[in-house]
Amino acid sequence: MISISRGLIALCAGACFFFAGGCDYLKQDMANQPKNKALSPSPFFEDGRSERPLVENTVARGSLANDELFVPKDSNNFPLPLNPALLERGEERYKIFCTPCHGLQGDGNGMVAMRGMKRPPTYHQDRLRQAPNGYIYDVMTNGFGQMLGYSAEIPPRDRWAIIAYIRALQLSRNAKVADLPAELREKLNQGGSSAPKPERSGTKDSAGGSE
């Protein structure tokens, strides 16, 4: 009885070794297929390279500028006429897509940031005030950092409307009097000169003098 048990054990052990040894042969998955790794040499081509040069005029995926309002990242051009209608559209789209993170005033205090997510930079810092329009358009299109791209949700014209509104937000905190139109400067000067001066209270201190 003992010899039979030992024989069965030996038979099972032999079968295990047989199947284990044949696993590499029987397992035909993608890891074992004949292929060339990136930049590895290959005797198949005359130049010995497995990585083939790009065909002339090839455009990388995601690099095709397929909208007429595209500008390079370093460009400060604005491809649309600026008018009140565009700013109103930009304000509407900004409040829908941007305020959750960037806040109503563009200072990065949106509800998402207030609930613990990473706070985005304020639009009112020098770096973003001086950033080209093309940079902001690229970030809105392709995303940056934790921000995903909005190319599927926001059409190009609305992206530029949002950029116009962002510039208006930046200007609202950094505008100079000299940058205002003449009629607005005149109104500002008139308002400053005609404003009534606050009256001083005639209260007296304990020594009898007025404060």
Would residue 10 count as lying in a domain? no
Can you give the CATH number for the domain in which 98 is found? 1.10.760.10
Question: In this structure, what are the phi and psi dihedrals at residue 41, rounded to the nearest 5 degrees?
Answer: -70, 155
Which residue, 159, 137, 141, 165, is CA-closest to 72? 137
- Whole-structure pTM value: 0.59
The answer to whether 90 and 163 are in contact (CB under 8 A) is yes
Which structural domain, as residue segments, surrounds residue 183? Answer: 84-191
Q: Residue 106, exposed/middle/buried by CB under 10 A (0-12, 13-18, 19+)?
A: buried
Q: Please determine, for residue 176, whether its predicted confidence score (pLDDT) is greater than 60.
A: yes
100-142 residue pLDDT tens: 999 999 999 999 988 988 899 999 999 999 999 999 999 999 9
Q: Which residue has the tokens 């040894």?
A: 21
Would residue 128 count as lying in a domain? yes
Would residue 32 count as lying in a domain? no
Q: Which residue has the higher pLDDT, 86 or 37?
A: 86
Q: Which residue has the higher pLDDT, 194 or 48?
A: 48
Would residue 18 count as lying in a domain? no
Q: Which residue has the higher pLDDT, 123 or 190?
A: 123
Percent of the chain surpassing pLDDT 70:
74
Would residue 60 count as lying in a domain? no
Q: Please determine, for residue 173, whether its predicted confidence score (pLDDT) is greater than 60.
A: yes
Q: How many residues does the chain have?
A: 211
The answer to whether 159 and 149 are in contact (CB under 8 A) is no
In angstroms, the CA 98 to CA 104 distance is: 8
Would residue 88 count as lying in a domain? yes
Q: Which two tokens stand for residue 137?
A: 């358009």
Model confidence band, residue 38 (pLDDT cutoffs 50, 70, 90):
confident
Would residue 22 count as lying in a domain? no
Terminal CA-to-CA distance of the chain, rounded, Å? 118
Q: Please determine, for residue 183, whether its predicted confidence score (pLDDT) is greater than 90.
A: no
What's the total number of domains in the chain? 1
In angstroms, the CA 211 to CA 209 distance is: 7
Model confidence band, residue 209 (pLDDT cutoffs 50, 70, 90):
very low
What pLDDT, on a 0 to 100 scale, did the predictor assign at position 206?
40
